[in-house]
Amino acid sequence: MPRLVLRWGFVVALLVLVCTGGASAEDDEGRTPVVGEPGPELSATTWLNTSDESTPPETDGHVVLVELWGTWCGPCVRSMPRVQGLWDRYRDRGLVVVGITREAEADVRSFVDDKGYTFPIGCDPTQACVRRYKPRGWPSTYVIDKSGTLTYAGDPYGAEAAVESALGLESGPGPVLVQTLDAWAKPDEAARRSTLERLIEKAPCAFDAGAWAQELVGAPSEEPPAGQLDAGPLLEQLAKTWGAADPAKRSQILEKLAGGTAPFDLRSWAVERYAKAFPLKKDEVQGWLASKQYARVLDALLDRRPSSSVVKAAAKDEGLAAYAGKLVDDWRTLARKALMAHHYLLGEMRYDPEKNDEFWRDLSVSGMSTSADRKQIVGVLIAGERVNQDNASSFADRKLLLWSLGRELAAGETPRLPACEKEASKERKRIEAELERTYKKK
pLDDT tens, position by position, 345-401: 998 888 999 999 999 999 999 888 999 888 899 999 998 899 999 999 999 999 999
| Residue 204: φ, ψ to 5° | -85, 165
Instruction: Write out pLDDT tens, residues 91-118.
Output: 999 999 999 999 999 999 999 999 999 9
The pTM of this model reads 0.84
Question: What is the DSSP pairing of strand 377-382 with strand 140-144?
Answer: unpaired
- The enclosing H or E element of 65 equals strand 63-68
Q: What is the mean pLDDT of the chain?
A: 90
Instruction: Write out pLDDT tens, residues 247-268.
Output: 888 999 998 888 877 889 999 9
- Measured torsion, CA atoms of residues 104, 108, 110, 112, in degrees rounded to the nearest 10: -140
What residues have CB less than 8 Å from 386, skipping those under 6 apart? Answer: 8, 369, 379, 380
State the greatest distance between any 2 C-alpha atoms of the chain, in Å, as a whole number: 70
Instruction: Write out pLDDT tens, residues 135-153.
Output: 999 999 999 999 999 999 9
| Contact yes or no for 185/242 (Cβ under 8 A) | yes
Separation of first and last alpha carbons in the chain: 17
Task: Map out the domains of the chain with their CATH numbers.
Answer: 8-167 (3.40.30.10), 173-273 (no CATH), 280-439 (no CATH)
Return d(Cα 119, Cα 88) in angstroms, integer.
9
